[in-house]
Structure 1
Amino acid sequence: MKLFGSSGTRGVVGESLTPEFVLRVAKAAGTVWNADRVAIARDTRTTGEMFVNAAESGLASVGVDVDDLGVVPTPAAVRYCENQSVPGVVITASHNPPEFNGVKLVGDDGVELAVEELERIEDHILAEEFDVAEWDAVGSVRSVETANDDYREDLLANVDREQIADANLTVAVDPGHGAGSLVTPDFLRELGCEVRTVNAQPDGHFPGRQSEPVPENLRDLERLVRATDADVGIAHDGDADRAVFVNERGECISGEASLAALAAAALEPGDATVSAVNVSQRLVDVCEEVGADLELTPIGATNLITRVRELWREGRNVPVAGEGNGGVFYPNYRLVRDGAYIAAKFLELVAERPPSELVAPYEGYDNVRINLEYDEEAELTAMLNAAADYAESADATPNTTDGYRLDYGDAWVLVRPSGTEPKVRVYAEGRSEERATELAEDAADALRRAVATL
């Protein structure tokens, strides 16, 4: 696909993402869907309203009515689409910096579109083939004010409220000024938790911290956990489809460790789970211990969703899936990454033992990630060619599911281009930080040298 990456399409506003482009995406989606009504939602980004207006105009121009949900977490928008049997357009750039925005497309079953349907929409965009309506048949727009409340009620009905309430937990929450600010703190209070917040005012400038919930951005949350003697800390990204945790000592828990703990609680012998090619050895170990099958895909939510659906068609049970960035699926509940639901499932476990003890079996590895930015396609090509050469000469057999992954037994390294940003990412994991850093830097240096020769 030329326009849609591993999780929709994103770009810097005014450069690679413009209102004109979003208008065309909406016109193409409305044409392909052939739906009478489409939902549209956004996160808190300052450019969100502008792109919502463009998308609404595009949909109306092809004769589609629009339900405007306002600012809601992506999983709230997905729930609305499933409940109302309407497709949806979500204006969000998830964890990207505030100058970014993007478009995510959801089917009328409440699941992000599969690659095949995205390609159909992309073909219409590139060919500019739109079913433009006559003047007296254009669509109209109505506001829907209840999407967040309905989503919260749905969450409450699908978690163990009694177990969480009985534990009398104090929870620190950092929604990162994103859409989760409007749901998660109230949801956790209704679960019986004492809630303390930081960066919980919706603000698309992200003044308190950057949107991506990685350790360097969660120092405020770590301090809040320590200052309030909280049992656990919870952080979201901009559209609240991810949840990352801080333990009772105010230390950030790696997403790989929390995924392993959640998977260990959900999987049974004979089950399957799905993760991406950058999967941690932690999840590999859990699957081996439980007797579950681990399926690997290219990185990105769209690819995981596609594989889960394939496993369903084979009659397999997939109770949990996800990546080590805080994005976890509970497919039997809903096939979407849902930050608030992930948080509640983690709290069900924290109700029985502290988070530090919960993830202790899965903390034997260290992870390193290096991002190499590029400005021109020639730089990207040079880095990918260098990655291929590096993998070919390595003392390990490359896995080319998505980029180049090299497994060394005690450690692994992966080089792949980002699906959402102009970056090539280098991931490494080892039983020590030194080993992981050595592998990551060695691979990154090969790519840097290639760009330097241009």
Structure 2
Amino acid sequence: MMKINIQQMMADSGVAFGTSGARGLVSQMTGQVCTAYTLAFLQGLGLAEPGRRIALGMDLRPSSPAIVQACVAGIRQAGCEVDFCGVLPTPALALYAMAQRIPAIMVTGSHIPFDRNGIKFYRAEGEISKADEAAIAQAEVELQTISNDAALPTVNPAALQHYQQRYTSLFAADLLAGWRVGVYEHSSAARDCLRELLNALGADVVSLGRTDTFVPLDTEAVSEDDRRRGLAWAAEHRLDAIISTDGDGDRPLIADQAGRWLRGDIVGLLSARFLGVDTIVTPVSCNTAIEASGLFRQVIRTRIGSPYVIAGMGQALAAGSSCVVGFEANGGFLVGGDLMVGGQPLAALPTRDAVLPALAVLAMARKQGVNVSDLLTGLPRRYTASDRLQDFPLANSRALLDSLQSDDSAYRNLWGDDLGTLARQDLTDGLRLTFANGEIVHLRPSGNAPELRCYAEADSNERAQALVTLTLQRIAGKRH
């Protein structure tokens, strides 16, 4: 037996909780670390009941099977049973676990580079809270000898089937009849599920970009290569839309009939409109067109990360809101409570999901008899862009933001007069600057990797992108 203090293990290994879940370099996520995290989750949160099933899933990263083996060891050491759901989207595992009223563990690094990975934890009620993360960090566990050579358990297909049924029962079987929809499959854990769902809803599906090499597709920072691919695929295959997700299938990427990728917060706005909700909970980084549209009774702004959006949805429901959803700038969409959509029930799913917003956008276009791009007509002319500086240590990000917040000369030294007069600062999450002309620049360190993220908002897409490019170029130039 080996006693492990989780707080000390986090400091020693570098594997710690980020924006959502425990993340670290694959080299840091040893069998001992991952087994200890699993035990701390089950024992630290009082979930380790003898014989209790624990749903377990993974993405397609090359490191995920070994981490799954370590999680299996932790589940069994806690006296619980493994319900292994195989490779599947994170929201599919969460939905199944909630329906079965059992905890769940998802091995995924989401969109971050392949040399990193992570573990997400779910109570039977849904995603764990920041308070739960703190309880896990304070736990002490005893590890038995770990064997990493055991075969993975037999896959139970029920979780994936339940997830697909959620959407085939919500939408008509001919919803997409006559449409050609491309699926940018890359290495997404949702790629087969997406293709099967679109086929079931009548679409002519075109598979695009499938690979066995892991692709860290970030729906908030779409690469120039992927922008060009979208345009080329739409023209070559005469597509009505293209659908993709990040690595674990909880963040959507949707392109219109010309192959132009839609921003995630605009996808969220359109999806909420289609669902007819009255309250939206969304991070401070999302487009202000949400409020300016006048479509929703209440918009609640939070820090960035699904745990904060989930907490906000819970508060809205407790205050009496009946139809509450949340979404992030990456497009991940959360349903706070049970809804009725077109006379059909839609169960709550308070974790990021990529399939619902994708199908909602396509269904809205079909219902209105228009192209996907036409759905943007009439929305306030506010455009967002975002990108990141990679390999930018957290300490550097914090020093930069502290300097910009407190020192006018640092602000002028970085931007000069290019952005005009500063109107206000928002410190909800990082540093969000609004200028007198209505333009916005928002800087924050990533919670998942050593990256500095930049978001911008302006009255044109070109200007928003120019603000991001200018800001990151200036910051990159000053670190050399």
- Match among 12, 15, 24 for residue 25 of structure 2: 12
Structure 1 partner of 2:305: 300
Structure 2 contact 313–324 (Cα < 8 Å) conserved:
no
Distance 1:220 1:448 in 2: 27
- Match among 62, 67, 71 for residue 55 of structure 1: 71
Q: What is the 5 A alignment of 1:132-147?
A: 143-147=155-159
Structure 2 partner of 1:229: 238
The 1:290–1:49 alpha-carbon spacing in structure 2 relative to 1, beyond 3 Å, is: same
- Match among 25, 30, 36 for residue 42 of structure 2: 30
Structure 2 partner of 1:43: 59
Distance 1:378 1:12 in 2: 18
Structure 2 partner of 1:212: 218
The 1:376–1:197 alpha-carbon spacing in structure 2 relative to 1, beyond 3 Å, is: closer
Alignment-mate amino acid for residue 368 of structure 1: A
Distance 1:68 1:401 in 2: 39
The 1:439–1:374 alpha-carbon spacing in structure 2 relative to 1, beyond 3 Å, is: same
Structure 1 partner of 2:118: 102
Structure 1 partner of 2:344: none
Structure 1 partner of 2:414: none
Distance 2:113 2:353 in 1: 20
> Does 1:122 pair with 2:137?
yes
1:273-321 deviations in whole A, cap 9, x for unaligned? Answer: 01101011221222xx224211011111111111111111112134432
Distance 1:448 1:162 in 2: 50
Structure 2 partner of 1:340: 355
Structure 1 partner of 2:290: 283
Unaligned runs of 5+ in 2: 1-6, 11-15, 146-151, 339-346, 412-420
Aligned length: 432
1:161-216 deviations in whole A, cap 9, x for unaligned? Answer: 15614x52221111322111220101110111111111345x3x23xx54224253
More helix by proportion, 1 or 2?
Answer: 1
Structure 1 partner of 2:389: 372
The 1:258–1:27 alpha-carbon spacing in structure 2 relative to 1, beyond 3 Å, is: same
> Does 1:420 pair with 2:425?
no
Q: What is the 5 A alignment of 1:439-450?
A: 439-440=467-468, 444=472
Bigger shift: residues 382-391 or 34-43: 382-391
Unaligned runs of 5+ in 1: 135-139
The 1:280–1:425 alpha-carbon spacing in structure 2 relative to 1, beyond 3 Å, is: same
The 1:83–1:281 alpha-carbon spacing in structure 2 relative to 1, beyond 3 Å, is: same
Structure 2 partner of 1:315: 320
Alignment-mate amino acid for residue 418 of structure 1: S
Structure 1 contact 45–92 (Cα < 8 Å) conserved:
yes
Distance 1:150 1:69 in 2: 11
Structure 1 contact 260–362 (Cα < 8 Å) conserved:
no
Structure 1 partner of 2:378: 361
1:251-294 deviations in whole A, cap 9, x for unaligned? Answer: 222223322222333345xx2101101011221222xx224211
Structure 2 contact 398–445 (Cα < 8 Å) conserved:
no
- Match among 164, 171, 175 for residue 164 of structure 1: 175
CA RMSD of aligned residues (A): 2.8
TM-superposed CA distance for 1:388, in Å, is: 2.3
Structure 1 contact 73–240 (Cα < 8 Å) conserved:
yes
Structure 1 partner of 2:364: 349
Structure 2 partner of 1:137: none
Distance 2:461 2:237 in 1: 31
Structure 1 contact 95–238 (Cα < 8 Å) conserved:
yes
- Match among 401, 415, 431 for residue 428 of structure 2: 401
Structure 1 partner of 2:459: 431
When the two structures are superposed, what TM-score results if normalisation uses the length of structure 1? 0.87
Distance 1:250 1:380 in 2: 34
Distance 1:237 1:133 in 2: 35
Distance 2:259 2:20 in 1: 31
Bigger shift: residues 404-413 or 88-97: 404-413
Q: Secondary structure at the match of 1:179?
A: coil
1:364-396 deviations in whole A, cap 9, x for unaligned? Answer: 334333423456554344223223235896722
State the identity %: 25
